[in-house]
């Protein structure tokens, strides 16, 4: 191959510019002939027909002889699957087989005569340069081979991993390099596949979940260790649906692998699987295995949540048991209070009646003592019941309009006598901007105030007790202050707890149960407020609580009850039926009613009450709730359904030992007009009777 004259391209072009047409044509013809020669030479080299190769350059010519005996090797080199090349000392490719050209994705013409270093990835060039340098080193014997893995750069820009082996070659005057390039793409791919397979296997072995891979027919093709443990044997090659059944926890339907195989995905589906009667609670995730949008199988993971589920169930059971215990406690207290209230109704009413009848001072004194003790006992029962209700969060608060000043005044009136006895001043200070009518529960507010003022009076030997009310933003602040014995600082925290008193010896000095403040705190908190105390021993105490009581207008107040003069019916002509199974209570209520000149008919069951009502024309029925054969509610329902035909309505007043709001509501819903709680207070009984339309005439 020649490059005559070795001219530079620029010089050649300027020479051509100076030529005329003929000279130019001759020049082109010569170039064409030389090109043909070069092409012939190239194909001769490739086919192994050439014995010697002359490389011309500006520095002269180099001749590489190819001995005739090398011919068979050249054929061998051309047919082998590795790339092969011969390089000059400066890495110029002198010879290269077509496999190497294929590997590089180019033609032999593009490689021959050019440095091979430009054909490797930039990062590998220094490695290759060092390798070539080493093999050319004089100290290295001819034929000694060196190898390295590197990436060849293909014409398209991507790279091919290869094993590059080289050894020095005697090219006569100089040394050259013989190169063999082995394509590692396939091997690398296989290695990657093997590595991916190994990774997948170790993931399956170590995964904490049961992982199952199914093919498109639903057969298990891979399974994790956990899956084998869960199903008790290797599920490989078994149809997934035969491993189960996996019952869906909430529907009891069996889960089928056909669902994910038809494209459905599942996340956190709770299923139950049984093995040897042992239930496993599992969380199932399933996804179709999509490769190029084609479903080739699916992956199912199962997480064992049996312990978690058991814990949840145990917790629910414990909660249900606690609720049941609490319900049983409330029921017990309600029953107990019923049982205690019934005899108490009797002896309180009996005492009351005896006091009414008897003028003898000595007996009246004794009866007074009995009356006081009965009231204390009833207070205690009410307190215990209140504490249990507050603890069980079963206190229902009213939200009704009421006159705040009247509520405070009435409450204070109760302490008129005890404070006068001790010569205590009882003051109220209600700020002018405190609303007159507010929305709330007057009974519960009164209960808190009674507790606090009761304590203040009890623990104050002299001086004053003052109740003040003032607005504090959205809230109303109530303060009960006294000039009493005070409370030691270290006891201030304790006194709001059940049964806690400053000193047990106080029990003897002052009496009390230690429940009043616990009830007050519970009620204030239920009303949405807070209670606190400040006190100094020997100087007095201030109990403060604030609750949200919204302003209401006057119109919202119910019309005042009419006075006795408005009664539409002559009191003595009121006809009353008393339905009560307890003979003593029957007798007592009869005695109470007799004070007003009323003589009720009495029956002992709901059924008798109904029969009596059908025979006669009663204005009022006093109906006990718990009666044999037919209870008070059933009797009321029956009366209400029948009286529409009769055209006259009877006033029905329920009597119950259960003070629950639900019971009261149930009574009213059955058609009762009013409900009274035992022990019956005479005043309450008369007020209820006076409130009946049948007695006072219908309100306009
Ligand atoms: P009780 O008064 O029935 O004992 P309380 O819960 O109402 O129960 O009060 C708890 C204790 O707090 C009382 O026993 C008393 O020691 C103390 N206490 C409450 N109010 C006052 C007060 N105004 N002055 C002094 N001590 C008080």
Nearest protein Cα to ligand 1, atom 7:
516
Output the pLDDT for position 578: 95
- 457 CB near ligand 1 (under 6 Å): no
Question: Average pLDDT, stretch 530-534?
Answer: 96
- 513 CB near ligand 1 (under 6 Å): yes
Mutate to test the pocket of ligand 1, among 386, 459, 461, 463 (most ligand atoms within 8 A of CB): 459
Residue 631 pLDDT > 50: yes
- pLDDT band at 441, cuts 50/70/90? very high
- 522 CB near ligand 1 (under 6 Å): no
Q: Are 164 and 119 in contact (CB under 8 A)?
A: no
Alpha carbon of 495 to ligand 1 centroid (Å) = 7
- 466 CB near ligand 1 (under 6 Å): no
From the list 77, 70, 72, the residue with the least C-alpha distance to 100 is 77
Alpha carbon of 679 to ligand 1 centroid (Å) = 27
Residue 505 CB coordination number (10 Å): 9
Q: Which atom of ligand 1 is nearest to the CA of 518?
A: 6
- pLDDT band at 12, cuts 50/70/90? low
Q: Which atom of ligand 1 is nearest to the CA of 451?
A: 7
Residue 11 half-sphere exposure toward CB, CA atoms < 13 A: 4
Question: In sequence order, which residues have a C-beta less than 8 Å from that of residue 187 and are 6 or more positions away?
Answer: none
Question: For 231-277, what is each residue's pLDDT tens digit?
Answer: 887 888 888 888 878 888 887 788 888 888 998 899 888 888 888 87
Q: Which of 83-87, 139-143, 247-251, 592-596 is modeled with the greatest confidence?
A: 83-87
| Whole-number Å distance between alpha carbons of 291 and 305 | 31
Alpha carbon of 402 to ligand 1 centroid (Å) = 29
Alpha carbon of 240 to ligand 1 centroid (Å) = 73
Q: Which atom of ligand 1 is nearest to the CA of 503?
A: 16
Residue 314 pLDDT > 80: yes
Mutate to test the pocket of ligand 1, among 380, 448, 455 (most ligand atoms within 8 A of CB): 455
- φ, ψ (nearest 5 deg) of residue 233: -160, 170
Alpha carbon of 574 to ligand 1 centroid (Å) = 48
Output the pLDDT for position 53: 60
Question: For 43-73, what is each residue's pLDDT tens digit?
Answer: 666 565 655 566 655 566 555 555 554 566 6
CATH ID of 189-304, from 3.30.70.980, 3.30.450.20, 2.60.40.10, 3.90.1150.10: 3.30.450.20
From the list 475, 492, 502, 478, the residue with the least C-alpha distance to 534 is 492
Output the pLDDT for position 16: 67
Report strand pairing: 60-65 vs 52-57.
antiparallel
Alpha carbon of 454 to ligand 1 centroid (Å) = 9
Check whether domain 571-695 has CATH 3.40.50.2300, yes or no: yes
Question: For 470-516, what is each residue's pLDDT tens digit?
Answer: 999 889 999 999 999 999 998 898 888 876 666 655 545 566 677 88
- 604 CB near ligand 1 (under 6 Å): no
Question: For 369-387, what is each residue's pLDDT tens digit?
Answer: 888 888 878 777 778 778 8
Mutate to test the pocket of ligand 1, among 495, 508, 518, 541 (most ligand atoms within 8 A of CB): 495
Q: Find how far residue 78's CA is from the centre of its chain.
A: 73
Nearest protein Cα to ligand 1, atom 19:
455
- 487 CB near ligand 1 (under 6 Å): yes
From the list 268, 272, 298, the residue with the least C-alpha distance to 283 is 268
- 451 CB near ligand 1 (under 6 Å): yes
Q: Which region among 26-40, 522-536, 586-600 has the lowest average model confidence (pLDDT)?
A: 26-40
Q: Which two tokens stand for residue 531?
A: 């209670």
Output the pLDDT for position 4: 44
| Whole-number Å distance between alpha carbons of 326 and 333 | 10
Model pTM score:
0.45
Q: Which atom of ligand 1 is nearest to the CA of 502?
A: 16
- 483 CB near ligand 1 (under 6 Å): no
User: In this predicted model, which residue has the larger pLDDT, 454 or 112?
Assistant: 454
Alpha carbon of 502 to ligand 1 centroid (Å) = 7
- 567 CB near ligand 1 (under 6 Å): no
Nearest protein Cα to ligand 1, atom 4:
514
User: In this predicted model, which residue has the larger pLDDT, 288 or 144?
Assistant: 288
Query: Reduced to 3 states, what is the DSSP secondary structure of residue 336?
Result: helix
- 224 CB near ligand 1 (under 6 Å): no
Residue 518 pLDDT > 50: yes
Output the pLDDT for position 92: 87
Check whether domain 400-557 has CATH 3.80.30.20, yes or no: no
Alpha carbon of 456 to ligand 1 centroid (Å) = 8
| Whole-number Å distance between alpha carbons of 251 and 254 | 9
CATH of domain 53-172: 3.30.450.20
DSSP states of 131-157 as a string? HHHHHH-TTSPTT-EEEEEEEEEPTTS
Q: Which two tokens stand for residue 357?
A: 């009848």
Q: Which residues pair with 579 in a beta bridge?
A: 603, 623
């Amino acid at each position: 191959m020649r490059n005559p004259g070795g001219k530079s391209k620029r010089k050649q072009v300027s020479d051509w510019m100076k030529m005329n047409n003929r000279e130019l044509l001759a020049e082109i013809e010569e170039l064409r002939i030389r090109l043909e020669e070069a092409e012939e030479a190239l194909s001769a080299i490739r086919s192994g027909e050439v014995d010697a190769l002359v490389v011309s350059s500006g520095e002269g010519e180099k001749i590489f002889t190819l001995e005739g005996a090398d011919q068979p090797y050249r054929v061998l080199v051309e047919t082998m699957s590795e790339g092969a090349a011969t390089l000059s000392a400066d890495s110029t490719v002198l010879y290269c087989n077509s496999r190497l050209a294929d590997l590089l994705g180019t033609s032999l013409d593009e490689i021959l005569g050019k440095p091979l270093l430009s054909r490797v990835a930039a990062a590998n060039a220094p490695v290759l340069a060092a390798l070539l340098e080493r093999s050319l080193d004089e100290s290295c014997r001819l034929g000694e081979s060196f190898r390295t893995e590197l990436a060849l750069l293909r014409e398209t820009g991507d790279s091919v991993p290869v094993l590059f082996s080289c050894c020095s070659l005697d090219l006569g005057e100089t040394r050259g390099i013989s190169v063999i390039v082995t394509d590692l793409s396939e091997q690398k791919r296989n290695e990657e596949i093997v590595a991916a397979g190994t990774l997948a296997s170790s993931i399956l072995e170590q995964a904490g979940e049961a992982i199952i891979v199914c093919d498109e027919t639903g057969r298990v093709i891979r399974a994790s260790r956990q899956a084998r443990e869960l199903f008790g044997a290797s599920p490989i090659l078994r149809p997934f649906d035969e491993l189960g059944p996996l019952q869906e926890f909430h529907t009891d339907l069996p889960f089928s692998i056909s669902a994910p195989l038809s494209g459905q995905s599942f996340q956190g589906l709770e299923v139950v699987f049984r093995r040897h009667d042992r239930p496993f609670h599992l969380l199932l995730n399933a996804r179709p295995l999509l490769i190029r949008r084609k479903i080739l199988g699916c992956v199912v993971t199962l997480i064992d949540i049996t312990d978690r589920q058991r814990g949840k169930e145990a917790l629910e059971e414990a909660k249900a048991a606690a609720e049941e215990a609490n319900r049983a406690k409330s029921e017990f207290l309600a029953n107990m209070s019923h049982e205690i209230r019934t005899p108490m109704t009797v002896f309180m009413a009996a005492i009351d009646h005896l006091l009414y009848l008897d003028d003898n001072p000595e007996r009246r004194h004794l009866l007074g003592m009995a009356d006081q003790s009965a009231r204390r006992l009833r207070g205690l029962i009410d307190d215990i019941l209140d504490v249990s209700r507050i603890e069980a969060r079963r206190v229902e608060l009213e939200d009704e309009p009421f006159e705040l000043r009247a509520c405070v005044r009435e409450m204070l009136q109760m302490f008129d006598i005890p404070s006068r006895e001790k010569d205590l001043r009882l003051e109220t200070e209600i700020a002018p901007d405190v609303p007159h009518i507010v929305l709330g529960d007057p009974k519960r507010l009164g209960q808190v105030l009674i507790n606090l003022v009761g304590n203040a009076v009890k623990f104050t030997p002299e001086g004053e007790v003052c109740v003040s009310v003032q607005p504090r933003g959205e809230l109303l602040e109530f303060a009960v202050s006294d000039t009493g014995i005070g409370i030691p600082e270290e006891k201030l925290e304790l006194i709001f707890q059940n049964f806690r008193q400053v000193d047990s010896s106080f029990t003897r000095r002052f009496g009390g149960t230690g429940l009043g403040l616990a009830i007050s705190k519970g009620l204030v908190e239920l009303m949405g407020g807070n209670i606190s105390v400040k006190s100094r021993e020997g100087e007095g105490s201030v109990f403060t609580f604030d609750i949200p009581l919204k302003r209401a207008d006057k119109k919202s107040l119910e019309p005042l009850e009419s006075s006795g003069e408005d009664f539409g019916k002559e009191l003595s002509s009121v006809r009353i039926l008393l339905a009560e199974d307890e003979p003593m209570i029957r007798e007592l209520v009869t005695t109470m009613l007799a004070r007003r000149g009323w003589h009720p008919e009495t029956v002992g069951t709901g059924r008798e009450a109904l029969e009596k009502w059908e025979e006669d024309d009663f204005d009022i029925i006093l109906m006990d709730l718990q009666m044999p054969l037919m209870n008070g509610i059933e009797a009321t329902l029956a009366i209400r359904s029948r009286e529409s035909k009769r055209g006259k309505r009877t006033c029905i007043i329920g009597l119950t030992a259960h003070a629950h709001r639900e019971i009261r509501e149930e009574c009213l819903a059955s058609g009762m007009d009013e409900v009274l709680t035992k022990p019956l207070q005479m005043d309450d009984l008369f007020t209820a009777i006076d409130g009946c339309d049948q007695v006072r005439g219908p309100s306009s």
